[in-house]
Each structure stands twice: as C-alpha cells, then as structure tokens.
Chains A and B, each alone.
Chain A
Amino acid sequence: MSAQLIIEELNKSYQAGIPVLKGINLEIAGEGVTAIIGPSGTGKSTLLRCINRLVEPSSGRVLLKSETRTTDLARVSGRALRHARRQVAMVFQEYNLVERLTVMENLLTGRLGYTPAWKAWLRWFEPADIERAYQLLEKVGLSHLANQRADALSGGQRQRVGIARALMQKPMLLLADEPTSSLDPKTSVEIMELMTELADAESIPVVINMHDVELAKRFARRIVGMSGGNIVFDGSGDELTPTHLKSIYGGESWLV
C-alpha cells in the first residue's frame, strides 16, 4: 500500500479576515498524479506548502498515513516535524537548487534529514546514498554533469536535478509546485514525463500544481480545480468540461 494524504477542513489566512484557503477537504490515495489547477493567487501554492509546512496552516488537519503510522503534519513541531518532512519531497517552480554547490552535492542535500550535523559539515554521506545519487543522475540523464556547479545548468537540467534531489529523500509523497512554469513547452512535457515515470517506478503519489490545463489532462489521473480558496472541481481529465473551466478560471473569452 502506498501512502495516503488526507486534508481536513484546512484553513489558512496570511492576514486576519482574508482567508486564502477556505476549509479544504481533499483525500489523495494510491499512486499516480493528481493535478491541482486554478488561476494565480487562488491558494494552490499555499495548499501545497501547508502540507510540508513551509507555510503554517491556520487550522485543520493534514494527515499523512503509511502502513505503520499516521502523522498530523499540521500539528507536529521540532524533531517530529523534521522527521515528517523527510517523508514529503518537493519540486519547486524555480528549481531552488543551491547555486554554488555541485549537482552531486545538491542531490545529497536530499539526505540531510538523515545526516547528523558533524557528518554534514565534513561532507560525509553514506556510500549507499552516494550510489543512489549516481543512479538517479543516470535516470534523469545528467551523469556527465555530476561535478558541475548548479548555476552552470540550463532550466531543464536544473529541474531534472530538482526531481533527483526530491527522490533522494525516498519520500512517501512527492509535491511539485508549478514544476514546468518556467520552462518551454517541449522541456515541460519532458520534465512531466520524467517525474511521472520515476514516481510510478517508486510507487509514490504525486501532487502537482499547474496552470496548464492541457498538460494536466495529459498526465494527471485526477484533476482538482481550485477557485477563490475552494475546491470547485474534482474528477478525471475527461470529466473536465468548458463549464467547469469557466467556474475555475472565470470568464470564457479564453476558451476558444
């Protein structure tokens, strides 16, 4: 059984009285890609960041269930929070690689949750982790760039490193916050293919924020439409009609 994510009555407001998320209920179980679509500023990023607590939720529950245990990500803190974060990996829109480190060092940062401080300071990583890093680099097609500094890479290459870094965590769940929004259409498709393939190979469910509806239909088993901090659509790509799109994005002149 793969991991299960259950979000219950999740609220978030950055300023009092202006909620960004309004009581989100969402259950994600099993493998495959779930795409969250919606206009900018509707809370997609906030929702994703409440899951790994880069953003503090105002109220609600975010349950991460594995075979053996259930963690409420909205409540844990300190060491328990860090241990929970190890189970949830994230791919970012602007890649967020550590620019001055090499590709290999960036991959190994994915293991920092398991590395004691003194070993990290001395750059001592487990041989098994280093081997996994080389395997992942080969899978994303960047073996020849292992010792390049991250700031020397192109956008598509950086996102490949970002995906490999996320998978270094051996996560139960993969989150991707607009992973292709800074890339050209061809690279976007390649990155989506790579991410879904690798996640399937490791049987990890993937939650992706995106605003490209066609890309979402092509890769996602399930599409969740958000508008104004609420979920307004939940179904497969085939069920997504122009009427739904109108309720998600508003207006209709763009639907030609």
Chain B
Amino acid sequence: MAGLNGQGLPPSVQKPFSLTWKAKLGLFALLLYVIYAAAQLDFTYARFITGLDNAATFLQRMFPPNFERSQILIKGMVESLQIAVLASVLGIAISLPIGLLGARNLMPGWATWPARSLVAICRALHPVIVAILFVKAVGFGALAGILALTVASIGFIGKLFTEAVEEISIKQVEAVRATGASFFNIVTFSVLPQVFARFVGFSTYQFDSNLRNSTMVGIVGAGGIGGTLFSAFQRFDYDFVAAILITIISVIMIGEVLAGFLRSVFLDKLRPADLWRKRQTAVQGTRNG
C-alpha cells in the first residue's frame, strides 16, 4: 500500500508531466538554431525599423488607388476567372475517374499504383513551377495557366477523393453486389452516394484555390491578371497595383461566398430560397439574443 501515498516510488513517477532530459536537450537545440538562423539572415529589430520607412513610402504611393486603366484591369481579371473556371471543370472531371482508380479497397494493384503515382506527381510541384513548365512547353498565355491549375486540381481532389473512397462502408457495397449488379452499377449506386458530398466539398475548395492561383500564374506569363500586376510593380505604378489588389480581394471574397453557397445547395439539399430564409433567421437570432 506504500505506493498509493507516493512514498517509496522513484522520482520520475511522482512528477508525471515533467520532461525527460532528452526532450529538454532537443528544445534547447531548437532554441540555439533559431537564434543562429535569425543572426544569419539579418532578422533583427533594427533591420525591421529601417524597412518600415520603405513601407511608409510604398503605402503612401499606393493611395489613392488608380482605377483609370480599368479596361486592362477588367480584361485581366476576366481572363483569370476564365482560367479558374476552366481549370476547375477540367480538373474535377479528370480527378473523378483517377481518384476512383486509386482506391485500394475497390481496385486491383495494377490500377491503383499508376493512378496514385500520377496524383503524387501532380502534387509534387508548386503551381508556379508547373506554370513555368507549361509556358516553356506551350507558350505564353492562358492555355499554360489552365493546364497548370488543372494539374494542381488533379493533385488535390484526386488524393482526397481516393482517401474518401477508401473510407466508405463496405456493407452498403456488399448489399448492392449481392443483387448481381455489375461493377459500374455498384460504383454508381453504392460508392458514389457515400462520397458525393465530400467530393463536392473538395471541388469547391479547389475552385476557391484555383481562383486565387489564377491571379498569380500570370506573373510567369501564364495568362490572367498576374501579368498586369507584375508589370505594374516593375514600373512602380503603385496606385495601379493597389487598384488591382483591391479588385482581386473583392473577386476572391465573392468567389468564397459562391463556393459556400454551392456547398450548401449540394450537401444540405437546400434550395436557394431556403438558404436566404435561413440566413435571415440567423441574423435575427443574433439580434434578439
């Protein structure tokens, strides 16, 4: 009974949450490295203060934003939107079959490993690097941007969709298999219903992300507003830069609202009118509460 009142136990048992000496040593090493890296990169407070002066002039020249060249701005933004929509549609259409092929619980090994490798390759490189590759391969312009973002979409949706399919309940599949259904019918009626909601979720998130990335691929010459933004930076037209940034932010925010709207229509089977009513009641609820 001595053990129960804490007597006669080794010290390590008496302080159950204390760190081992190995963990302490590891933390100390991490702290040393952070100090070393900061010193190496001139990451100091003095450097930050010098930088602030620069930031002040930069911000000053950004305001007021200059919307005079709105035609170039709108043209670039529309192109970015088109890149995002086309890349999302293509990416979603391609990643549906590839994602299914990669699922180990439904497919034999000779189908899963090529599908999984393809998705892994699509995920390996950052969209900017892929965009540079496509600019070199197919030339400047929107085509390179569309292809680059399609690759990114396959990498993201393909991987998550495969994982979703691997988590389905096999009981529902078994019941449909027992009716004598063919493989395709089993997929249509017992696999897809189980993963469709999540697929819509991944797809709208990817559309969000494509919208953001489509404003960026232009920097490397793959079409869209990014090219305009980059040249405005280089010509020190900071007031035009501000105009472009404000436009991008508004478009992205509208896109996020739209994506959320799509999700609730598909996932909760809400009709647009219901959605509006729900929002109204939610607002009233917060006011009353």
Contacts and interface: CB of A to CB of B under 8 A. Distances in A.
Interface of A: 52, 54, 82-90, 92, 94, 96-101, 105, 109-113, 115, 117, 120-121, 162, 165, 169
Interface in B112-128: none
Given A96-B172, A100-B196, A120-B181, 5 more contacts: A96-B175, A112-B179, A117-B188, A120-B188, A169-B180
A115 B180 CA distance: 10
B171 interface: yes
Contacts, number: 88
7 contacts: A54-B177, A85-B178, A92-B171, A96-B172, A97-B172, A100-B197, A112-B181
A52 B186 CA distance: 16
A109 B194 contact: no
A121 B196 CA distance: 14
Chain B interface SS verdict (over half)? helix
Contact of B189 (A90, A96, A112, A169): A112
Interface residues of B, number: 22
B185 interface: yes
Contact of A98 (B172, B180, B182, B184): B172
A97 B176 CA distance: 9
B179 A169 contact: yes
A98 B171 CA distance: 9
Nearest to A119: B185
B274 interface: no
A204 to B, nearest CB: 15
Contact of B185 (A54, A88, A120, A169): A120
Contacts of B167: none
Given A98-B190, A98-B193, A99-B194, A90 B176 contact: no
Contacts of A98: 172, 175-176, 189-190, 193-194
Contact of A109 (B169, B171, B176, B182): B176
Give 4 closest A-B pairs by Cβ, nearest first: A113-B180, A112-B181, A85-B180, A86-B180
A90 B175 contact: yes
Given A96-B172, A115-B185, A120-B185, A89 B193 contact: no
B180 A82 contact: yes
Contacts of B185: 112-113, 115, 117, 120
Contacts of B194: 98-100
A106 to B, nearest CB: 9
Contacts of A117: 182, 184-185, 188
B169 to A, nearest CB: 8
Contacts of A92: 171, 174-175
A54 to B, nearest CB: 6
